[in-house]
Amino acid sequence: MLLSFDTVWRRWWRNGDRALEPQTAEMPVTRVPPTEAPWLSHLDLAGIPRHLVYPTTTLGRILDQSADRFGNAEAILYNDHRWTYRELLAAVNRMAGGFAHLGVRRGERVLLVLPNCPEFVIAFLAILKLGAVVVNAGPLMGRDDLQSVIGMTNPRVALGLDLQAATLHSACAGSTVEHLVYVSLQTYQPVLKRLGYQIKLWQNRDAAAGGVQHTLLADLLTRAPARPPTVEPDPNSVAVLQATGGTTGTLKLAQLTHRSLLANIMQVTALETARPGQERVFAVLPMFHVYGLTLCLLTAIFNASTIILMTRFSAEEMLELIRKHRPTICPIVPAICDEISDLLQKEQDDDPTLGRLPRGLRLCISGAAPLPRETAERFHKLTGATVVEGYGLTEASPVTHACLPNDVRPGSIGIPMPDTRARIADLDDPMRDAPAGEPGELLINGPQIMAGYFANPEQTAKVLLRDLHGEIWLRTGDVARMDGDGFFYLLDRKKDMIIRAGMKVFPVKVERTLRLHNRVKDVAVVGRADPHHTEAVVAVISPAPPASEQGKLADELRLLCREHLAPYEVPQIFEFVEALPRSALGKLLKRELRKGAVAAAETPVLPDPAGAIPRERAAEPAGKATNQIPESIAGRFKDLIHDDDAEAYPIARPLSEAEITASNGNGKGRAHKNGNGHA
């Protein structure tokens, strides 16, 4: 640093004869760039971009683009019926015109209560074409939950299956719903099954119409214009209100915008290395869950893939359709892996020349539940298809992590998707990172994160964390760790963690040990209140052996745990049941097990369009109404637990109420008396 003569003279004068000390220039503060995330190099090796360019459009427009490029390509295959992309676009435009005829306008919410069927695909895209919002409830949602959703969202139009007319009318009674539009799947059935469908309709007939206008979709379409009104796209607007509740059963609606869903579509497309117009996607996962919605419907439409649609899962029917239509991509859950493997193994045992799948199925993505290594390896051996485990949750549209097809690591949920950051936070202070390699809560940052919970700023503030740099992180509630290569491993749900005499017990670790016993097919480990040790470790085993053998098996399992686990991790109680309670996607419902001994689990069943053709299921209890659907909350790819009474997270700068509520609605539409201030 050069000093002027005047400066040197003045300093010399003040210091007398003392020599002037050399002055050092003040160095600018240099910011050390953060260490590169370890998983990025794996994206590079897999040929997946670290960063993506996202469309600045809306979901309603992606069908137009696919139909323009691949108009003659098959869009949907369903029960021997086929639609090209050009035909699908025409059907969507006409249905959008029908909804507009009923008064649906931009920003209004439309309740969708349908299983996988062509009408779900058409209605979903038609609602978005109008700039309206899909309230994606699903047919497994019980009447009480439906009433709650209707009360929160105030829809004027609801679309459901004619087989559920009584349930829908009961849920809509006294609400803002003015039009109930019914979809019939009867035309897709062969002659014998049509008879069964008629019987089901008669059993579920709804005589009381009340103040709600009932309309058949076919009648609505006959008087609908061929083209809907043009609506200017707004990528930042909410596209879907997706029901989620976690295992606590507290119903919430995640606001998924066009932008967040399109971001996840692009991320999944990069993972799949999807080829536009060439893929065939098997859609067995329910689209009223965000997992099936994004991977089976939206990503497929974006890439102009053929959607092989299946209303409800049956291993025999799925295997037949795979052999007939030769899908290339198949999103699944571990339970489907096991049933397909069992069926193929049985075929091979009966005839060694059978038990094979045709070539072409190149990728299966498994989510919704942990994928055991044995399940993945067995499925690959029998089918030849690679199974990669992924992770996500409704609040993230849903995918945040996935293993790479060329680098599958058993037990790992993989690495973050492009443009997605993840960190392992201290279990007690989310603002502080956990030590390297140590378990902590998984936090996610990325373009696929939701805008918040609809009309629920309190819960939004609990799960969306703003750091000191203004970045928003989603708290997953999952305990995880990251290895040196940047691969993540789920250890357990934060709320599932058991505290025994001050020591932390991770149920997944105990369950993994118990599965080593050849008589344990399914297991769940939970904590129950204990007056002396805070919580007792309880293992629930399925299937149940004969009563005379249960004591011996419990001793064997206890000895096995002592060989592999710490003393405080060994279960104190062993219980045996025929089946563990699970959701429609096979997600274990541990809340039922914490209450105490459980009865045999009831498997949620979709309304069967082939009502007269019985499937393997438990007999209906005497006196049970035929139109009742097992209680279940839709929209769970990976259930998120956030208790209402959980303490608020200590964040650097809490999200303001204006920030939280800004995305809860656009302020347009009619005001209704729900007390939440939203139209």
What is the C-alpha end-to-end distance of the chain, expressed in Å?
A: 65
Structure-token match 């600045």, residue found: 56
Q: What is the mean pLDDT of residues 22-45?
A: 66
Residues 267-293: tens digit of each pLDDT: 999 999 999 999 999 999 999 999 999
Higher per-residue confidence, 329 vs 531: 329
Q: What is the mean pLDDT of residues 250-260?
A: 93
Residues 581-593: tens digit of each pLDDT: 887 667 788 878 8
Least confident of 301-305, 317-321, 637-641: 637-641
pLDDT score of 126: 97
Q: Is the pLDDT of residue 28 over 50?
A: no
CA distance 605 to 324: 25
**Measured in whole angstroms, how far is the alpha carbon of residue 242 from the centre of its chain?**
9
CA distance 119 to 182: 10
Bridge partners (DSSP) of residue 399 are 392
Q: 516, 556, 558, 555: which is closest to 537 by C-alpha?
A: 558
**Measured in whole angstroms, how far is the alpha carbon of residue 433 from the centre of its chain?**
26
Q: Where does the pLDDT of residue 186 fall: very low under 50, low under 70, confident under 90, or very high at 90 and above? A: confident
Q: What is the DSSP code string of 111-160?
A: EEE--SSHHHHHHHHHHHHTT-EEEE--TTS-HHHHHHHHHHH--SEEEE
Higher per-residue confidence, 23 vs 387: 387
Bridge partners (DSSP) of residue 392 are 399
The answer to whether 400 touches 392, Cβ cutoff 8 Å, is yes
Q: What is the mean pLDDT of residues 468-477?
A: 92
Q: Is the pLDDT of residue 244 over 90?
A: no
Q: What is the mean pLDDT of residues 459-488?
A: 93
Domain ranges of the chain: 59-488, 498-577
Protein fold of 59-488: Rossmann fold (3.40.50)
Q: What is the mean pLDDT of the chain?
A: 81
Q: Burial-class residue 279 by CB neighbours within 10 Å (0-12, 13-18, 19+).
A: buried
Structure-token match 């492009």, residue found: 418
Q: Where does the pLDDT of residue 658 fall: very low under 50, low under 70, confident under 90, or very high at 90 and above? A: low
pLDDT score of 593: 84
CA distance 565 to 525: 14
Q: Which CATH class is domain 498-577?
A: alpha beta
Least confident of 107-111, 262-266, 353-357, 501-505: 501-505
pLDDT score of 64: 96
Higher per-residue confidence, 583 vs 241: 241
3-state secondary structure at position 618: coil
Higher per-residue confidence, 70 vs 244: 70
Least confident of 7-16, 120-129, 160-169, 657-666: 7-16
Residues 642-654: tens digit of each pLDDT: 333 322 222 333 4
The single-letter DSSP state of residue 631 is -
CA distance 258 to 89: 19
